A and B are shown apart, each in its own frame.
Chain A
Amino acid sequence: MSADPYSDEVRELFNEPRHAGRLDDGISVREDAQGVRVELSAIAGGGLLTALGFRVWGCPHLIAAAEAVCARFEGREARELEGFRTAQIMEILAIPVEKTGRILVLEDAVRSLGQAVRGRSDEA
């Protein structure tokens, strides 16, 4: 028997991602692992993330999670990125445990983005 593998939240975020795309004038990071590709970009100012964008090659759960992450951090302090953990987002979106590996690639990308933003701020 096949239960619906996607929660309503995943379907909504997958079908209408508001943060899809690359912010060309922002800071970008990329992770390629577990057979997926995740690219995150951010525009930051005064320690705040003013805009976030993502591009993903992967399954619907990963696309939805990337969108959820962007929505969650937009307007928040950039330093929060480095403490990001996937567990909460997996629970909210009801992502099956077998997708953990792919979602961890997103976690790595979020943390890398946090470091990159911090690095840029330190330079400034």
Chain B
Amino acid sequence: MKDVVYLDYAATTPVDPRVAELLRTLNDPDGNFANPSAVHIAGRRAAAIVESATAEIARMLNCDPRGLVYTSGATESDNLAIAGAARFRAHRGRHLITMPTEHKAVVDTFKALEREGFDVTWLTPESNGLLDITRLEDAIRDDTQLVSIMHVNNETGMIQDIARIGAICRDRDALFHVDAAQSAGKLPIDLANLPVDLLSLTAHKMYGPKGIGALYIADRPGCHVEPLLFGGGQQRRIRPGTLPVPLIAAFGLAASLARAQMAEDERHVAALGDRLWRGIRGVDGVTLNGDEQHRWPGILNVSIHDVEGESLMLALEPVCVATGSACNSQNQEPSYVLRALGRDDLLAQSAIRFSFGRMTTVEDIATAVEAYRAGVKRLRRLAPERAA
């Protein structure tokens, strides 16, 4: 996509060329396309590819590879983790905890569980989007079975303190699920030393292909999920279905590259984020959604007073950004995440999310800054003053 400036990495990243090449090779008719459950030689070769890729993903997360279950992506992982764990532990209690600023895949799964009779506590965030830990301590009960809090917020980039949250959950014998779709492969995640029981991740937000994700399930007593799908014995019956070997291999390579390049990627993204924020923070009326201290620098979400968001997004073209989460981009409603942070409708509606990463250049950021400043200026000139 040479004719656009792509700054929507939080929706999906480009596939790393090395990963793309591996995918192409494996999808070739002469490649290894066999079913890894088959016992013949081609099947065994496919199984070896899966095993090797799984080891790479486990290395990235510092976890036992036997704890990883492949899914179609983070949405399925979130569903499996939350609905699966809630139902598995329903005989112990039916109280669950999450936040309204989670991804829709989490929010809507909890809403579905509410309709099944589960009691869900929705913890409202502070104005920067972070969870006040004391609220969790107050909300957690003897019958709380699951707490689900995301690592990096997909709209604002705010990073939750999953170590502290997990410690509270451990102390109260509640499972802790983390949606790590935005952080896996970008921030260090050490599952051997983090009190996390369930963790969702997806390949397509870390330079891998779409259609493959994973759920980590800790090997602890009481930590298990009921399956959502039935029909085969694959993956210990937790998630049956023929494993997509090329996608898993590509996911493994993406994880390996992410681990090897994490520090470099982080420096690159931090430098770009700093350049972008310095470029637009001086525009009159700009407000950062989130804060500067606890934010992953690859996502910058800004609102602006007295500029209409949809028009601003079109004025920015060919810079590709989001006005809310990608899933909501067809929806004209203001972002529910920003509303939960206390932004009024107009300010939430003016929000632009810039997200960028490994392939983003300094020139891309310069183009975005210039387009943002020019777009704001033009739309303000076009608008009548607010009524007194």
State the A residues within 8 Å of B (CB): 2, 5-6, 11, 14, 17, 20-22, 30, 32, 35-39, 55-60, 63, 98
Complex CA–CA separation, A21 to B383 (angstroms): 8
Q: Indicate if B16 sits at the interface (CB-CB under 8 A).
A: no
Q: Indicate if B56 sits at the interface (CB-CB under 8 A).
A: no
- Could you pull out 23 A-B pairs where Cβ atoms are within 8 angstroms? A2-B329, A5-B330, A17-B382, A20-B381, A21-B381, A22-B384, A30-B384, A32-B387, A36-B308, A37-B383, A55-B382, A55-B384, A56-B382, A56-B384, A57-B306, A57-B308, A57-B383, A58-B311, A59-B308, A59-B311, A60-B310, A60-B311, A60-B314
Interface residues on B, range: 10 to 19
Complex CA–CA separation, A60 to B126 (angstroms): 33
CB within 8 Å of A: which of B350-388? 381-384, 386-387
Return the chain B residue nearest A67 by Cβ. Answer: B382
Q: A2-B329, A98-B332 are in contact. Are A56 and B383 (CB under 8 A)?
A: yes
Please determine whether B384 and A59 come into contact, CB atoms closer than 8 angstroms: no
Return the chain B residue nearest A14 by Cβ. Answer: B314
Q: Indicate if B345 sits at the interface (CB-CB under 8 A).
A: yes
A27 to chain B, nearest CB (A): 15
A39 to chain B, nearest CB (A): 4
A109 to chain B, nearest CB (A): 11
Task: List 6 A-B pairs, minimum CB-CB distance, nearest first.
Answer: A57-B383, A39-B384, A55-B384, A59-B310, A60-B314, A37-B384
Complex CA–CA separation, A17 to B322 (angstroms): 24
The secondary-structure label for the interface of chain A is mixed
CB within 8 Å of A: which of B324-359? 329-330, 332, 345-346
Complex CA–CA separation, A2 to B384 (angstroms): 31
Complex CA–CA separation, A60 to B314 (angstroms): 7
Complex CA–CA separation, A37 to B382 (angstroms): 11
Return the chain A residue nearest B345 by Cβ. Answer: A35
Return the chain A residue nearest B349 by Cβ. Answer: A35
Complex CA–CA separation, A56 to B180 (angstroms): 41
Q: Which residues of B contact A37 (CB under 8 A)?
A: 383-384, 386-387
Return the chain B residue nearest A96 by Cβ. Answer: B332
A54 to chain B, nearest CB (A): 8
Q: Which residues of A contact B387 (CB under 8 A)?
A: 32, 37
B26 to chain A, nearest CB (A): 27
Complex CA–CA separation, A55 to B378 (angstroms): 11
